[in-house]
Amino acid sequence: MGIIEATGLTRKYGAVTAVEGLDLDVREGSVTGFLGPNGAGKTTTIRMLLGLVHPTAGSVRVCGQPVIFGQSARPQQVAAIVETPAFYGALSAIENLRVLSLTAGLRLSQAQLEKQLERLGLAGRGHEPVRGFSLGMKQRLGVASVLMQSPKVLFLDEPTNGLDPQGQADMRELLKALPNEGHTVFVSSHLLRDVEQTCTELIIVDRGRKVTEGKVAELLRAGSRVVFKVNDPAAAIALVRRERPQLTVGEGMELSVQVPRDASADQLSADLVKLLVNADVQVFSVATQAADLERLFLQLTGKP
């Protein structure tokens, strides 16, 4: 059983279905990326997982306990940043953290609060009013505010929003380190490069439905293609489509075949070279093109 579980999760707004029949099983100790186009239902899903939005149907369990709409998150088990974090603008960063820690029932020292700020790249800025902070600085402060609670599960919606390139790199390194500190991270982002470099597992949704899930490395390996340069591409494409109809074959001036999830590129290459040569198609070269997350995402969501 996962540390985050959802069964048949559905949310409708009148005639519009934002999320439909979504099943989730998130492994404890993972950094799980939650991807989808705009309007795919990502934020609605996260809000249902947190008990902030009432599901039309389905159920949710987090840390082994059912999530009930309207109930506050369990202290030191679940923390979240959904959209832009809000702070008291007139108070300093340290004062904001102190207020939030007291609200959460924590008694953290000045040194502990300053350590959280230093960890998120805000060393030396703790006594400045937050109203003067940039969006990226507020995002860093928001992550500091939830990490000081030492949650078992951390939900993050666009955690690199507003960060400069160095800030994005720092945030990626932080997220990768969190499982070693006992955290499970569920992160929604539209920055595919960040997700590919940070996450261990991946869930992609489109139009409120799950289209794929799995370990990032396995999904990318399955999304790779083998490209054959041949003397007659049209004949080669027609041959493979006729003799290997289960394969996904691309159009173009080369024979390009997607590697199935249950096969290896080497196995596929050897099989198809034999097929082509036996049909008198000359094969000049064979190359494997590794998939990247952008190509996989666009392919699965059907976006141009």
Percent of the chain with pLDDT over 70: 97
Backbone angles phi, psi at 32, to 5 degrees: -105, 120
pLDDT digits (tens, 9 = 90+) for 277-301: 999 999 999 999 877 888 888 878 8
> Which pLDDT band holds residue 7 (cuts at 50, 70, 90)?
very high
Do domains 4-219 and 223-301 share one topology? The answer is no
Backbone region of residue 24 per phi and psi (left: phi > 0; alpha: psi in -120 to 50; beta: other values)? beta
Residues facing 215 on adjacent strands: 201
Q: Rg of the chain's alpha carbons, rounded to an integer?
A: 23
> Which pLDDT band holds residue 71 (cuts at 50, 70, 90)?
low
Would you kindly state where each structural domain of the chain is located, as residue ranges?
4-219, 223-301
- DSSP secondary structure, 24-64, as one string: EEEPTT-EEEEE--TTSSHHHHHHHHTTSS--SEEEEEETT
H helix runs in 104-198, sequence order: 110-119, 135-147, 165-177, 192-198
Cα 274 from Cα 283, distance rounded (Å): 10
Say what angle helices 135-147 and 110-119 make with each other, to 10 degrees: 130
Backbone angles phi, psi at 157, to 5 degrees: -110, 110
Closest CA to 58 of 12, 6, 108: 6
pLDDT digits (tens, 9 = 90+) for 244-267: 999 989 888 899 998 887 788 899
Q: State residue 263's pLDDT score.
A: 80
**Distances, alpha carbon 102 to alpha carbons 95, 109, 115, 116, 294, in Å:** 11, 11, 17, 15, 42
Q: Which CATH number fits domain 4-219: 3.90.550.10, 3.40.50.10860, 3.40.50.150, 3.40.50.300?
A: 3.40.50.300
Closest CA to 83 of 43, 141, 38: 43
> Which pLDDT band holds residue 97 (cuts at 50, 70, 90)?
very high
pLDDT digits (tens, 9 = 90+) for 144-199: 998 888 899 999 988 887 788 888 888 888 899 999 989 999 999 888 888 999 99
Q: Determine contact, residues 108/101, Cβ cutoff 8 Å.
A: yes
3-state secondary structure of 216: helix
Q: Give per-residue burial for 181-206: e unless 16+ CB within 10 Å, then b.
A: eebbbbbbbebbebbbbbbbbbbbbb
Q: State residue 291's pLDDT score.
A: 78
Q: State residue 74's pLDDT score.
A: 53
Closest CA to 83 of 116, 49, 131, 47: 47
Per-residue pLDDT for 139 more than 50? yes
Q: Per CATH, the architecture of 223-301 is what?
A: 2-Layer Sandwich (3.30)
> Which pLDDT band holds residue 304 (cuts at 50, 70, 90)?
very low
Per-residue pLDDT for 75 more than 60? no
Residues facing 35 on adjacent strands: 204
Q: State residue 120's pLDDT score.
A: 87
pLDDT digits (tens, 9 = 90+) for 201-240: 999 999 999 999 999 988 887 778 899 999 999 999 999 9
Task: Please indicate whether residue 303 or residue 137 has the higher confidence score (pLDDT).
Answer: 137
Q: State residue 170's pLDDT score.
A: 86
| Average model confidence (pLDDT) across the chain | 89
Q: State residue 188's pLDDT score.
A: 92
